[in-house]
Amino acid sequence: MRAAFLTGPEQLEVRSTVAPPLASGQVRLTVAACGVCGSNLHAWRHPELAISKDSEPEPGAAGHEIAATVDEVAADVSSWRPGDRVVVEPNLTGACGRCEACGSGRYWFCRERSGIASWGFSEGMVVPAGCLFRIPDGVPDEAATLVEPLACAVHAVRQSNSALRRGGRIDGVGVVVLGAGVGGLMAAVAARHHGAGPVAVVARYEHQAAAAERVGANLVVDANDDQLIAKLRELRAELVMEAVGGAADTLSTALRVVAPAGEIAVLGLFDEPQVFDARRAVFRETRMFFPVTYGEMAGIHDFDVALEILETRVDVLEPLASHRFGLDDIGVAFSTAADKKTGALRVIVTP
């Protein structure tokens, strides 16, 4: 099979590689579509975060927003059949299932994690049967790639103090989302699904602002607006969701607009250590947390919630896909996703 390899800064190569044999408990997949995530772009710019001097580049370039079709199942797998359409929960691909972290549904923290042979920027994958979730009928493969970033946003909302104090809902809670890329848009969708209102989104580009309105933001504010802070403070947002990262000064903005005794959820990945006004945070009794991924709470996986949202709002979320590229053009796909001036919103690779 063919797979993309990250070989250096902003360098991707498509190579032929040997597909691994199917072992007990495993399923062979044909990848239908894989989204280009912001974390992929971080590794693309800084490959030292993804590969080391002593290791080979990772096959599949770690694409993890995956929709696929089951191609073959091991003899002891009865939960899936060839032809089933599925999404892959990345943390469960290598979780041991036995440790304390796995037992509490926090698979990201598994200390016995194992690897898989290739990831989503490839023609196929072999994964454990237990890491798969069924794509609902009526949800196209490209739209299904949104389940992973949506699950991240769902996790952030469900883990927020606002939700924990209200039995899992955030009814009537004012929310500000900083950033209108896919992560920010999914944060707005997850907040609205859990009852938030009003929800304000800060967008830098016109196409992002339009998308924020389509997914249900009550207010969209231009990131360059001179009155940005004043407009956001009027909302007295109990929850601010940072979804930019990189080199942005968004932590400072979040601290200035969050309501007293409110909280900030940091979803963005920053390029460098950040400096923020701890004195302001202390006097406003601000909570900050950093929800990195997804898992289970009260026996319900964030993927299940994300799939429910996607199924009911597919007409709104499916059009977010702005660009599509084949595997051979994966370098162009990454360049396009990295340059928002191209109008890129959701870039999909279809092997």
Alpha helices, DSSP H, located in 160-205: 161-164, 182-193
pLDDT confidence of residue 58: 74
Q: Is residue 299 part of a domain?
A: no
Calculate mean pLDDT across residues 326-333: 97
- One domain for residues 79 and 20: yes
Q: Is the model's pLDDT at 203 over the cut of 50?
A: yes
- One domain for residues 41 and 106: yes
Q: Is residue 308 part of a domain?
A: no
pLDDT confidence of residue 53: 47
- One domain for residues 100 and 185: no
Distance CA 233, CA 256 (A): 8
Calculate mean pLDDT across residues 316-340: 96
Do 199 and 186 form a contact (C-beta atoms < 8 A)? no
pLDDT confidence of residue 338: 94
Task: List the single range of 30-34, 156-160, 268-272, 283-287 with lowest mean pLDDT.
Answer: 268-272
Q: Is the model's pLDDT at 216 over the cut of 50?
A: yes
| Domain housing 91 | 2-134+313-350
This prediction has a pTM of 0.95
The three-class DSSP label of residue 251 is helix
Calculate mean pLDDT across residues 183-210: 97
DSSP 46-74: -GGGT--TTSPPPBGGG--EEEEEEEEE-
Calculate mean pLDDT across residues 129-153: 98
Calculate mean pLDDT across residues 55-80: 91
Side chain identity, residue 184: G
236: closest CA among 253, 219, 260?
260
- One domain for residues 27 and 60: yes
pLDDT confidence of residue 56: 67
Query: Domain total for the chain?
Result: 2
Calculate mean pLDDT across residues 152-168: 96
Q: Is residue 307 part of a domain?
A: no
What is the per-residue pLDDT across 14-34, written as a single tens digit (0 to 9) for each? 999 998 999 999 999 999 999
Q: Can you give the CATH number for the domain in which 69 is found?
A: 3.90.180.10
Do 346 and 321 form a contact (C-beta atoms < 8 A)? yes
Give the pairing type, strands 258-266 and 237-242.
parallel
pLDDT confidence of residue 159: 96
Q: Mean pLDDT in the chain?
A: 94
Do 38 and 181 form a contact (C-beta atoms < 8 A)? yes
Distance CA 293, CA 82 (A): 29
Alpha helices, DSSP H, located in the chain: 38-45, 100-103, 141-144, 147-159, 161-164, 182-193, 206-214, 228-233, 250-257, 278-283, 302-312, 314-317, 330-338
Find the Cα–Cα–Cα–Cα dihedral 325, 329, 333, 334, rounded to 10°.
150
- One domain for residues 276 and 339: no
Q: Is residue 144 part of a domain?
A: no
